[in-house]
A and B are shown apart, each in its own frame.
Chain A
Amino acid sequence: MLKPTIGLEVHVQLKTRSKMFCSCPVEFKAEPNTLVCPVCLGLPGSLPVLNRQAVEYTIAVALALHCEIQPFSQFHRKNYFYPDLPKGYQISQYDLPFSRNGYLIIETEEGEKRIGIQRVHMEEDTAKMIHGESISRTSGYSLIDFNRSGVPLLEIVSRPDISSPQEATLYLMELRSILRTLGVSTANMEEGALRCDVNISLERGTRTEIKNLNSFHSVRKALEYEIKRQEEVLKEKGQVIQETRHYDERAGVTLSMRTKEEAEDYRYFPEPDLVPLKIDPPWIEEVRSRMPELPEDKRKRYKELGLFPQEAATIANNPELANFFDSCLSLGAPGKEVANWLLSEVMKYLNARNLSIIEVPLSPEGLVEFLTVLKEGTISSKIGKMVIEEMLQTGDGAREIIERRGLAQISDPVLIKKWAEEVIKENPDQVSQYRQGKEQLFGFFVGKVMKLSGGKANPEILNRILKELLLRE
């Protein structure tokens, strides 16, 4: 199989309160054209003023992606003609972007892998156009809503270091988790807060670009399809044409956009309405000092607790779960055991109901008490699964549930059997005597097992199990 070379270009909407160059509020469910002003409508004479928060969010993202922040950066005008761009140009960055040369780490099945980041720059979002299937195809007109015009966007361009659709998904998940941990974006693909274009070639051959993928599923499917398509073309000794393709979600295929191949000619020039940015080390350090712990560092910390890489990644990449996990740790619980329960029974329960850990009444204190009860041997893991499910439903404490449901008397055959086996193993002489006919020794074994159970084993079950084991050869 030919090795794919994949690069991702991601656009992220920043979660500022106001737009990038004007003070119109940023909201996503407002009535069309109600969040507009002369600046974001591109009216003559209006002037942009940069939003400080957008700059600081960008610094934070650049730092999280290990990028070099340029001490001097500048905005450029990217000129092109399209109705979603009222000024006839987009304020973007060109040869003096905000930051370059970073990386992020993904946790693959073969271990950690670094994916290079070529650049992170700022630009403004365009207006939203409604056409095509949303309104009649034959109507011959489009509708424009300028509420999105001027919302701050980050463009994050990866190096072509990604070598499979799975890695592309991991990259996006890691990026999303970084953005959410920093609190700079909802990073929700379905809502368009994170949009993805991909570049793909086989064995460093001619590459194609697939634009506007709007879900994790689409990114994976489009890449899988495109790899197969390019393989077919090459197998038939054909040439992959450098072009932009569109992913048809319903048909699951990529299609050539059939645009006239015209060299891009954006005639970039420095934006004369904005002065340059000088980002000095004290400013960078100030932003850094306010940054929370990043998923990458969390993962490292969790792996040191004995978690497997995939376990550490699952927890670290889910900010709410990570908070819960960290609270358990600070209550003194052993990380490995917390992770085992969180990633099995708790996640199973949450996933089945499409809930997040903060939407159920189970508290970190509750889980830690549960682990203590488990360790004391009051219940077996098997009974534990039952108890934790009830804790997730009701928020009641483990001891309370055990008492209410009479679980404290140990009726769990697995646990009793374990104790019985232990007693049998430790008393080989008595066992052989019993098996040779000294039946009065049975009480000796019962006493030993009962002692191991802290006096809580169900005698009936205990007797039955013990008999079975002693009679077995």
Chain B
Amino acid sequence: MKITLEIVKHIAHLARLEFSEEELKQFYQQMVELLDHFARISELDTENVPPTSGILPLYNVMREDNPGPTLPREEALKNAPEEESGFFKIPTILEAED
């Protein structure tokens, strides 16, 4: 995959982040370098290595279905920018936002 400035802008939009042109160029450069690094890894011969998504030799780590303690509501809401009657309060997000 070849990184373009458009891709950087698209990723920033998906994360709802806004950057100046200068910052975008900087990220573009960093991402190119990052992917170049991974490109080097993919030069390795992995013919006989099965694909994996984790490095732990573990499967089926589970807990029993027992309810446990929860956070007191004041704690849960402590970092909320705003609250109202026990809810987190946020500006309305418009679905059709550009």
Contact = CB atoms under 8 A, between A and B. Distances in A.
Interface of A: 16-18, 22-26, 31-38, 41, 49-55, 74, 79-83, 88, 130-131, 139-146, 257-260, 265, 267, 270, 272, 274-278
Of B15, B88, B91, chain A has the most CB atoms within 10 Å of the CB of: B88
Nearest to B91: A141
Interface stretch (B20-28, B29-37, B41-49, B70-78): B70-78
B65 interface: yes
Given A33-B73, A144-B88, A270-B53, A49 B62 contact: yes
B98 A260 contact: yes
Interface string B36-73: 00000000000000000110101111111111111101
16 contacts: A24-B70, A25-B70, A32-B87, A33-B87, A33-B88, A49-B61, A51-B62, A51-B63, A53-B65, A142-B92, A143-B89, A145-B86, A146-B76, A265-B14, A274-B61, A275-B60
A33 B62 contact: no
Given A18-B65, A143-B84, A260-B98, A35 B70 contact: yes
Interface of B: 10, 14-16, 53-54, 56, 58-71, 73, 76-77, 82, 84-93, 95-96, 98
Given A17-B66, A265-B14, A258 B96 contact: yes
A52 B62 contact: yes
10 smallest CB-CB distances across A and B, nearest first, come from A23-B68, A270-B53, A53-B65, A143-B87, A25-B67, A52-B62, A144-B88, A275-B58, A32-B86, A278-B59
B54 to A, nearest CB: 6
B62 A55 contact: yes
A137 to B, nearest CB: 9
Given A31-B86, A36-B76, A142 B61 contact: no
A382 B93 CA distance: 64
A77 B16 CA distance: 18
Nearest to A57: B65
A64 to B, nearest CB: 20
A51 B68 CA distance: 12
B94 to A, nearest CB: 10
Nearest to A96: B53
B84 A38 contact: no
A270 B53 CA distance: 6
B13 to A, nearest CB: 9
B64 to A, nearest CB: 6
A18 B71 contact: no
A183 to B, nearest CB: 13
A83 B70 contact: no
B90 A18 contact: no
Contacts of A34: 70, 73, 86
